[in-house]
A and B are shown apart, each in its own frame.
Chain A
């Protein structure tokens, strides 16, 4: 519930509109973060360049460019390199978690998630890392 001082702008990337709506509601309702949305990896990269968000939440399974691919694309751009990324996935087996961390993700939010505790979950991941 407590909004962190250094997060102002969040970019949320998921191809499922229902998930985008729900996560945005939880985040904007309970924190003072501004949440922008992207429906694909490609859109995520162009929006991130434009907005320079403080955090990107990235769905793993997306048609076309999936989450991990999007992350490595982000890492290639100088201005986007340092933005922390959290993955969102319904699949979180141990080897996958390790893989995502190697890719440079701060942590993982598991689907299904609870919109009312989503801000706390994110804060938890950011404080831990």
Chain B
């Protein structure tokens, strides 16, 4: 190995920074020269070319970028790290990366541990200091995790669904098609691999026989060459099918056989002993592969929806069970509303079907409300109007019916209802943003997470992460550590410096599974890390674990007080719904409710009264309306609700019902007496009164103002 240049030039006009970095580098055995200005730096470079230069963005007289530009005129390869106090914009970043060929951009203040980690990836410290270990897992085969996955078929099914889905964006379709092709190929290879396994004992048997014959006739050169040939062949074949170990043993057998000399006796026994050992160990591996493989793979089905049907004893159980079978729904039945509430308290159901004849609780659709209270979430509902009473559309919407079955109940319309509820329950699928410069890995992540019902977006250019975060609103981030120009650590630090994204869990994908790499991941603010190569099961279970934590506790998308969407999240979701409604020429309405004199509440009724009122509003909004409707908090005492497919007239009636519920509610006051608050509301309809979220919101807000002036 050639002599490594571990001489580092640090250029910064801040003495504190120079000394810090200088000491840090010296502690790792690097040779360091410090420069205060571009002029000093140039002199230092002329005296001796360093292995790396660390340059401050802001320098007196000649700034960092200008200095680098000058250096690049005659030195195109010197690795450079640029330190900057401000996050640079995409244009500057691209200039730094592509024109000035800066290796990494690091934000000040630096975190020593991360700084060293990044730097040691560019130039390893002198040999006497322990460095981060080589990351290659011994002998593992890159595609293996994918090949071993039993979930390829499900991934494919899911992608096909997405391709058939009309609201999949055109640019996504191209990507999905490519992904589909990859998965199909992997699938085919996996099947070929299963076939190959069947022939593996026979092929290995040939090796055993050939070696045995050569061993028994030590003077026969042809038999020796035969054995080598057979071993050689299986080395290439088994290895290519992903049986790396088998291939390795074959390789060793071949290598030992080459050293066999038929013309002498010396040391031959030792060589043959090694060959036999490899044959025996190889046989054991082949046997274990064959034992494991032909067991039929567990047919893993996507978790279907579970549903509690609250129906009168003996009413349409046949159609219900039939429908559940048709759509793979886990059905449970109960014959009274009290029984339903008890069941919901004990067990989690994804949805409920309520025969209104059984809703004996006082108040309209009260059972639905109580079931949602018991479930502690906004489950999709289906109402069956078996007594054929008359209900207005507003009643139905406000009651929360994703499906309303009037009249005859058949297996057909029940299974349709269950399907609609399944979709309504999945409206808000968890989202994962995968930041990685390797499209292969992002493709792999997609193929694993998509079938689990998780939306995935890949980002190959980390510099635009903030834009993508705002647009995609992910619940979790998968972040590659090593990326050109910007390490995952830097990206994570950037996010954690924004209030909006402080809470988002970040899982680092790292090829360094040593303790130093782990520490660095946590120092940078990571929640967890996964070592590459990433395994299917591990990826899925870690992502799911962190998602469930996020979605139930703190999500950047959920307002902490009311537990409905934040203004920003509501806007994003609303835009998507508007797109969908636009395509299908459907109406959509937005309603805004405002708690009257919200700003005065604390003064009048003491601390926490406002918070309490907001919490109650959040609860009410979730207990009422349909699962697929969007609920969000705009600001203070103002909430927005978006209802697809409904004109403003209906929505006005719906809000009248909400107001009636609200007017019955009393809130505790720190002053002792309970109090009530009034509610105002106003609506806006798409596309008449606005074709995007902002216009609809502003229209409804202005309506609100007019009303309060009138009152």
Interface residues of A (CB under 8 A from B): 1, 16, 18-19, 21-23, 25-26, 29-30, 61, 89-91, 111-117
Tell me if B178 is interfacial: C-beta within 8 Å of chain A: yes
Looking at B75-83, B228-236, B520-528, the stretch in contact with chain A turns out to be B228-236
12 contacts between A and B (CB under 8 A): A16-B233, A18-B237, A19-B240, A22-B241, A25-B185, A25-B189, A26-B189, A29-B185, A30-B181, A112-B238, A114-B142, A116-B186
Closest to B185 in A: A29
- B24-58 CB mask vs A (1 if < 8 Å, else 0) is 00000000000000000000000000000000000
Q: In the complex, which residues of chain A have a beta carbon less than 8 angstroms from the beta carbon of B184? A: 29
Contacting pair B182 A25 (CB below 8 A): no
Contacting pair A16 B192 (CB below 8 A): no
Complex Cα distance, B244 from A117, in Å, reads 16
Tell me if B247 is interfacial: C-beta within 8 Å of chain A: yes
Contacting pair B178 A1 (CB below 8 A): yes
Q: A30, A61, A113: which contacts B240 (Cβ < 8 A)?
A: A113
Q: In the complex, which residues of chain B have a beta carbon less than 8 angstroms from the beta carbon of A19? A: 236-237, 240
Contacting pair B181 A29 (CB below 8 A): yes
Given A25-B188, A25-B189, A112-B244, list of 7 further CB < 8 A pairs? A18-B199, A91-B232, A114-B141, A114-B240, A115-B189, A116-B182, A116-B186
Complex Cα distance, B238 from A112, in Å, reads 8
Tell me if B196 is interfacial: C-beta within 8 Å of chain A: yes
Contacting pair B178 A112 (CB below 8 A): no
Interface residues of B (CB under 8 A from A): 141-143, 178, 181-182, 184-186, 188-189, 192, 196, 199, 229, 232-233, 235-241, 244, 247, 251
Report, nearest first, the 7 A-B pairs whose CB atoms are least far apart: A112-B239, A29-B185, A111-B236, A90-B236, A112-B240, A18-B237, A25-B188
Complex Cα distance, B193 from A115, in Å, reads 12
Given the known interface contacts A18-B241, A111-B240, A116-B182, the answer about A90 and B232 at a Cβ–Cβ threshold of 8 Å is yes
CB distance from B198 to the nearest CB of A (A): 11
Q: In the complex, which residues of chain B have a beta carbon less than 8 angstroms from the beta carbon of A116? A: 143, 182, 185-186, 189
Q: In the complex, which residues of chain B have a beta carbon less than 8 angstroms from the beta carbon of A91? A: 232
Complex Cα distance, B449 from A119, in Å, reads 26
Contacting pair A16 B185 (CB below 8 A): no
Q: In the complex, which residues of chain B have a beta carbon less than 8 angstroms from the beta carbon of A21? A: 192
Q: In the complex, which residues of chain A have a beta carbon less than 8 angstroms from the beta carbon of B233? A: 16, 61
Q: In the complex, which residues of chain B have a beta carbon less than 8 angstroms from the beta carbon of A30? A: 181-182, 185
Q: In the complex, which residues of chain B have a beta carbon less than 8 angstroms from the beta carbon of A22? A: 189, 192, 240-241
Central interface residue in A29, A90, A111, A117, by most chain B CB within 10 Å: A90
Q: In the complex, which residues of chain B have a beta carbon less than 8 angstroms from the beta carbon of A90? A: 232, 235-236, 239, 251
Complex Cα distance, B141 from A113, in Å, reads 10
CB distance from B204 to the nearest CB of A (A): 13
CB distance from B433 to the nearest CB of A (A): 23
Given the known interface contacts A19-B240, A114-B240, the answer about A26 and B185 at a Cβ–Cβ threshold of 8 Å is yes
Q: In the complex, which residues of chain A have a beta carbon less than 8 angstroms from the beta carbon of B181? A: 29-30
Contacting pair B189 A61 (CB below 8 A): no
Contacting pair A112 B142 (CB below 8 A): no
Q: A16, A26, A29: which contacts B237 (Cβ < 8 A)?
A: A16
Q: In the complex, which residues of chain A have a beta carbon less than 8 angstroms from the beta carbon of B241? A: 18, 22, 112
Closest to A21 in B: B192
Closest to B146 in A: A116
Closest to A120 in B: B440
CB distance from B206 to the nearest CB of A (A): 12
Central interface residue in B186, B237, B244, B247, by most chain A CB within 10 Å: B237
Complex Cα distance, B246 from A66, in Å, reads 25
CB distance from A111 to the nearest CB of B (A): 3
CB distance from B145 to the nearest CB of A (A): 12
Closest to A2 in B: B178
CB distance from B609 to the nearest CB of A (A): 60
Q: In the complex, which residues of chain A have a beta carbon less than 8 angstroms from the beta carbon of B143? A: 114-116
Given the known interface contacts A18-B196, A61-B229, the answer about A112 and B188 at a Cβ–Cβ threshold of 8 Å is no
Contacting pair A29 B236 (CB below 8 A): no
Contacting pair A16 B236 (CB below 8 A): yes
